[in-house]
Amino acid sequence: MNTQNRSRLERDLLNLSRAFPLQVDDGYAFVLVSGLKLPPGYNRPSTDMLLELPADYPICPPGVGGSYVYLPPALRFHGRRLDDLHEDHLPTFYPAKVGSWAWFCYEYVAWSPHRDDLIKFVEMVRADLTKPKTCWELPWGVRL
């Protein structure tokens, strides 16, 4: 990451830390966002979110290309699994050992590197969690 991008990332992380408790690794590979309030209908009032930070941030946002967004696999909306939450794709770095994670798939992110920041990204994720696609799950883990 070049100096200009790193400076921008540090500024965006500082701004995000004013809204949420954060844990950031020394190499800026990921950030753990704690206490993200969930919309009504979830099996918990709030959750944590793990973001892999792309090396070319802010050109690419988290969750696109080679970086991923992770949520706890037990997250349920009206008792149903989130269709875009994949328990078979796990992070390969340190936070994988701290709690359980599942990949929250993004197919498209409307992002402008000149206008958007990590706060907007977290809010985009939260907006997507308002009416997520869900699926039924049989007791032995099969999705319907």
Residue at 140 is within a domain: no
Q: Are 48 and 32 in contact (CB under 8 A)?
A: yes
Residue at 15 is within a domain: yes
Residue at 76 is within a domain: yes
The pLDDT, as a whole number, for residue 36 is 96
Q: Which of 12, 21, 37, 30 is nearest to 111 (CA)?
A: 12
Other Cβ atoms within 10 Å of 120 Cβ, number: 16
The CA distance from 137 to 118, in Å, is 33
Residue at 117 is within a domain: yes
Residue at 98 is within a domain: yes
Locus of tokens 């690419």: 60
pLDDT of 139 above 60: no
Residue at 141 is within a domain: no
Residue at 143 is within a domain: no
Q: 11-24: per-residue pLDDT in tens?
A: 999 999 999 999 99
* Sheet order of strands, 76-77 included: 76-77, 80-82, 134-135
Total domain count, the chain? 1
Could you give the 3-state DSSP secondary structure of residue 143? strand
Residue at 142 is within a domain: no
By residue range, what is the domain housing residue 16?
Answer: 3-135
The DSSP annotation for 70-107 comes to EE-TT-EETTEEETTEETT----SGGGGSS--EEE--S
pLDDT of 138 above 80: no
Locus of tokens 């997520």: 132
* CATH at 92: 3.10.110.10
Q: Which of 29-38, 57-66, 93-102 has the lowest mean pLDDT?
A: 93-102
- The overall average pLDDT reported for the chain is 87
The CA distance from 120 to 49, in Å, is 14
Residue 140 banded pLDDT, cuts 50, 70, 90: low
